[in-house]
Structure formats: structure tokens, C-alpha cells
Amino acid sequence: MLSQEDNELLCRVGPGTPMGTLLRRFWTPAMLSDELPGPDCDPVRVRLLGEDLIAFRDTNGNVGLIDNYCPHRRASLFFGRNEECGLRCVYHGWKFDVNGDCVDMPSEPAESNFKDKVHITAYPVLDKG
């Protein structure tokens, strides 16, 4: 029989846990390709290894798997608009690409490079649809 400590070690898979760190080194099936039917379709909620994530297919057909929450005010990106190669947060309009890079901040001046410093957690995706 497992001790409580061993059980915790083997069963907790959230971010920062030993087993979660191990499992994140390997590919994990997340969903069927058909669940993202076409470019700029509605985003889909995905829960993997204790993390709330959002899957979306961008304008070019690339699939992204990013953190559910915008880093600005933690608004859910599930309600975001999937448009022009990115998922736009409906709260303040920050837009993220499939790599988790912020590609647009409407409230920042055009010459500002602040968006280049903002990144959201993103995982690589292999779409074998």
C-alpha cells in the first residue's frame, strides 16, 4: 500500500508538481482534430494535467493550445474572438498567437514594444487530423 506522501507524489499532476513536470515532457492526446473544424472557429476549453487551457485554430489553420486566462486581468480567453491569426481577449483586446506571443495591444501606442514582452503559457501542438 502506498504511503500518503507517495500517493501525493504520484497522483498530483498540476504545474510545478514532480509528476506534472514529468508528464509534460511527453505528448498527451488532448482532443480530436474535428473539434476545431476550421480556421478562426470558436475556441474550445481543454483541461489537461490540472491546467485550464484553450485550443483554437488560427486563420492559417495552425492549432494553438494556450492558458485559459489573459495575463492582463485574468479574463477567460474562451470568450475571446478568434481573428486574423490570433485569439483576442474580449476584456482589453490583447491578442495572442498559437505560440502564446502577444501580437496586438490596441491600448498601446504604435511605437510601443510592450507587447513584445508579454507571453502566455503555450504548448506545442501536433495536429494529425
pLDDT 10s digits, 4-63: 999 999 999 999 999 999 999 999 999 999 999 999 999 999 999 999 999 999 999 999
Q: Cα dist. 47→29, 53, 93 in Å?
A: 11, 6, 24
Domain that holds residue 56: 31-123
Kindly report the pTM of this predicted structure: 0.90
User: 32: which 3 cell numbers?
Assistant: 480530436
Number of domain units in the chain: 1
Cα distance between residue 20 and residue 11, in whole Å: 9
- The answer to whether the CB of 86 falls within 8 A of the CB of 97 is yes
The Cα 74–Cα 107 span in angstroms is 17
How far apart are the C-alpha atoms of 84 and 64, rounded to whole Å? 13
Does 67 fall in a domain? yes
* Per-residue cell: 121: 503559457
CATH (domain of 39)? 2.102.10.10
